Structure 1
Amino acid sequence: MKQESLYRRLGGYDALAAVTDDFIGRLATDKQVGHFFGGHSKDSLGRIRQLIVDQLCAATGGPCIYIGRSMKVAHEGLNITESDWEVSVNHLVATLDKFKVPQKEKDEVLAAISSMKADIVAPAPMKKQ
């Protein structure tokens, strides 16, 4: 018997959109990472939201097609640190917990997100000797 897609087990498009809205709300108001969302117009923030929903939809086996830039290009120059990443992941976990996502599905979402980490987090600066 074929297992249902992660997309379906998470509740489909509307559930992913609700998770995205909560997650972005947490990020945008966070003291450490909120500045990454500052200076965007309402339209620009709406586009970012839609791209995240589409990417989550595609990454979880849903019918969406992600047409945004690669994670490397989209995050280049933002200088996202390891600490920023951890804060963001903690917010994602809190969001998934809020929506009562079961542990198995939560682990799968986190694995999918973690696979993008190298393209999102800026390399640590070289220490001078």
Structure 2
Amino acid sequence: MLGPLLAGTVAATVSAEEAKEPSLYDRLGGLSAISVVVDDFINVMVVDDVLNANPAIDAARKKVPSPYLKYQVTSMVCKATGGPCAYTGRTMEEAHSHLNITLEEWQRMVQLLRETFNKYQIPEKEQEDMLEVVYSTKAAIVKSAEGSDDAKSE
């Protein structure tokens, strides 16, 4: 009598899991796809004239090796999108507070990120879901008076 009851419980659990939408991590293609996009994004970002016009950002680019930055950002994106990675880096505020990032610089970073997403033909829903993750860090990163606007403002 317990057998049919357990079978029904297992079937209900499997059905609930099947109905659940895959994680953003899975929808982005997992760690390999995330690492390729992050690699390209960092390559574009570290040489950007708008971002490097900020002396603090330029100095940080020269101090922090790109491979390390790529590793940390890949781990952070993996973790934030529901993947199996552990992010052990600094908080967004610890990593960015000394850079005095302006709203204009934030907007430029978002533009470069969108261009990278488009280059890899990431579907619009996944782009928007990923940008929600990015926007959640804005208050910790943007330190100009203008940066206190709506968190989704680009």
Structure 1 and Structure 2 fold alike (TM over 0.5): yes
User: Considering only aligned residues, what root-mean-square deviation do their CA atoms show, in Å?
Assistant: 1.4
2:63 match: 40
Give 1 or 2 for the bigger CA radius of gyration: 2
Q: Does the alignment pair 1:31 with 2:49? A: yes
Equivalences for residues 77-96 of structure 1 within 5 A: 77-96=98-117
Deviation at 1:51, TM superposition (A): 0.5
Structure-2 change in CA distance of 1:96 and 1:56 (3 Å) = same
Tell me by how many angstroms 1:37 deviates: 5.1
User: Is the contact made by 2:42 and 2:66 (CA closer than 8 Å) also made in structure 1?
Assistant: no
Structure 1: 4+ residue segments shifted above 3 A:
none
The alignment covers a number of residue pairs equal to 123
Q: Which amino acid aligns with 1:13?
A: L
Q: Secondary structure at the match of 1:24?
A: helix
| 2:84 is the counterpart of 1:66 | no
Identify the residue that residue 10 of structure 1 maps to in structure 2: 28
Q: TM-score, normalised by structure 2?
A: 0.76
1:123 aligns with 2:144: yes
The two structures have a TM-score, normalised by structure 1, of 0.90
Cα shift readout 1:69-109 (whole Å, capped 9, x = no counterpart): 10001101101100000000000000000110000000000
1:25 shift after superposition: 1.1
Distance 1:16 1:36, change over 3 A: farther
Between Structure 1 and Structure 2, the one with more helix by share is 2
Distance between the aligned counterparts of 1:96 and 1:16, measured in 2?
A: 10
Identity of aligned residues (%): 38
Matched position secondary structure for 1:56: helix
Unaligned runs of 5+ in 1: none
State how far apart, in whole Å, the 2-side matches of 1:96 and 1:36 are.
27
AA of the residue aligned to 1:79: N
Q: Kindly indicate whether the alpha-carbon contact (under 8 Å) linking 1:28 and 1:37 is maintained by their aligned counterparts in 2.
A: no
Gaps of 5+ in 2: 1-18, 53-57, 147-154
What is the match of residue 57 of structure 1? Answer: 78
Which residue does 1:20 correspond to in 2? Answer: 38
The structure with higher relative contact order (CA 8 Å, sep 6+) is 1
